[in-house]
Structure 1
């Protein structure tokens, strides 16, 4: 099935004012999406059953099922789309920044994508096979090729890609109903889940071997389905970035309201169908995926529109979320590391021993710590640690002014 993990994007524009300034609302939106991603992904990190599309056998109470349904209905596949949107949006900012500085963009961006691919490969093998960073590296090449596309053409291409993917899942649903065996592409049996859990509580080599095995199982769906879905969302972000729509939200309140009405009606209806396909068996999962591909972007857009409309009235919330959003890549990788230390043999080995409600509580606790850690770090450094490395690689030189001097220094 489609991966639910996403790569957090980083704006290269420096703090300050003017065209090159960071947009605080975008940083806050990224932080908001980072929390949603963690709440979704922790279930996949905590159990091989969840990765295989099954509920953990040990947790079958009403509260357990209520949490599963809620996370699937309201969060799953929505926040990874927000990150994809932000990847495409930040791509336009990086283009503008290079043009202002008179720098050659293509070699810089290719170095950045190379670094992203290496990070993703290490992340997938060592921590979480649901990694999507390598997918973003490939999508980034496509964005580079399409960088001169008009906003209208980008939207049309995104809609076309989404429609084709939905039709592909419809075809898979039809073929499966005729008896086609898809078990060789996804680990979808309880036996596979139990085997995975046993490996994940083992030693380092067992964990790495299991991660590589899972990668081989989901490779086909990742290449042919996840990549185009991510690209479609990136293209919408690219179009919004080219039009500069997020720089003056007050001028687009009517558009944001329309996104809310459409997203919360059509998007939630599709999410309910998707959730039913995932947990009740009333419809085949591929039918649910097809509907979700079309409607999840609308619900994600409604979330973003609501968040951006509320943000001026909740400045404190914006400041809290902006800090982890500014160093989202570092926080994203740290989330996988922390969860691996909790759930696998790297640390406490609590795979399948934590209930869904407790998983959500842990996710919220981890994020709260990350908010405080991000605020502390950014009070002393201009970039997050992984962002610093990626920027160093991009510009092929040590970032200037990376350390913020103390007051009076």
Structure 2
């Protein structure tokens, strides 16, 4: 849901989350953008990355149970993710994460035999080094003379809008034209993705999510510290990008928000795990669990539906909807996905894309199970 809220803004128009200042934005528009910046931007892709690293250990355990080598399976899985990511980026949404996962997943394969401690130390070094670089880069922008960056970014705006409102071929051309900037951003953020992979690998090797009840006090500390460190940084980013601080602070604010995002992500993870230990939280988890079992299908179908809504594939509403309408539409879409996921997972073990990726990983057709097997 968090990824959907961010991606909906990115796909809805060129002024996404302060990328370019929207001269026609109302106070309500900026407030909604500020809320999404504070609580969603930069947090949920890290959560996905942590889960990707954790699930890597489950892939290794599965191969060991089957008495087969894990490496060929994992290489095929990375290839499958890469192909899906390229198709996703070219046809639907340039902000694809699957290509990044496919490439960085090769590093996980190489590091599969490392100890949990080594994985955690590597994550800390990677996070610390990249954070220092980004903060210095952000501070440097404050020392530079003011430049009309928005004017430079807005030069091709009308052409971009026309491309996304045109026919299918112009949408694909617009996506391809956006790819170099998106790939550069992905390269810059890949260090944080890799650090989250390694933290997930550390936790998976120690089976920390297998018995969260024994880590209640530790998770509570992480929740409180993560919120105390992450929320102020995210709020500063929102004030700098969509708030009153102004364009001069935008880059530095973005860097601060990026560096503090892992703390808030950790707070989210531990907060949800603590919530699920309560009776109300357990009931809530039942509602969300089916969508989690087919997260890849939901991720790609979100992009497909939004492409139909926003681009020339369908309604061509690119740059025509307010942030409030975009957020409302995203929440309605997610509610529909929850309902559909519940129906599908009651009958099948895998979602459609999960089934396809598993077939590629195993190099054979997976056997779908009946409802009781899926529940087990």
**2:228 corresponds to:** 265
- Match for residue 14 of structure 2? 48
* CA deviation profile, 1:16-57 (whole Å, cap 9, x unmatched): xxxxxxxxxxxxxxxxxxx11111110001012217702544
Write the distance in 2 (CA, Å) between the matches of 1:92 and 1:148: 10
Deviation at 1:182, TM superposition (A): 12
Match of 1:173 among 124, 132, 138: 138
Q: Which residue of 2 aligns with 1:298?
A: 263
Question: 2 CA distance for matches of 1:284 and 1:297?
Answer: 21
C-alpha deviation, 1:380, in angstroms: 1.9
- Where 1:389 maps in the other structure, the secondary structure is helix
Map residues 7-406 of structure 1 onto 2, 5 A cutoff: 35-50=1-16, 53-58=19-24, 60-173=25-138, 176=141, 177-178=143-144, 189-223=153-187, 225-279=188-242, 280-281=245-246, 284-312=249-277, 313-314=279-280, 315-402=282-369, 404=371
Q: What TM-score do you get using the length of structure 2 for normalisation?
A: 0.92
* Structure 2: tracts of 5 or more residues without a match: none
Moved more, 308-317 or 230-239: 308-317
Residue pair 2:17, 2:33 contacting (<8 A) in 1 also = no
Indicate conservation of the 8 Å contact 1:74/1:271, yes or no: yes
Moved more, 249-258 or 147-156: 147-156
Distance 2:145 2:120 in 1: 37
Structure 1: where are the runs of 5+ without partners?
Answer: 1-34
Deviation at 1:159, TM superposition (A): 1.6
Q: Report the Cα distance in structure 2 between the residues aligned to 1:187 and 1:391, rounded to whole angstroms.
A: 47
Task: Give per-residue Cα distances to partners, 1:244-302, cap 9 Å, x unaligned.
Answer: 11111110011111011111111111112222232232653332233223311110111
Q: How many angstroms does 1:167 deviate by?
A: 2.4
> In structure 2, do the counterparts of structure 1 residues 255 and 405 end up closer, same or farther at CA, with 3 Å as the change threshold?
closer
Report the Cα distance in structure 2 between the residues aligned to 1:174 and 1:348, rounded to whole angstroms. Answer: 42
**Superposition CA RMSD, Å:** 2.3
When normalised by structure 1's length, the TM-score is: 0.85
Contact 1:271 1:292 in 2 (8 A): yes
Give the Cα–Cα distance (whole angstroms) in 2 for the partners of residues 405 and 244 of structure 1.
Answer: 25
Which of the two has greater helix per residue?
Answer: 2
- Indicate if the aligned counterparts of 1:89 and 1:240 stay in contact, CA closer than 8 A: yes
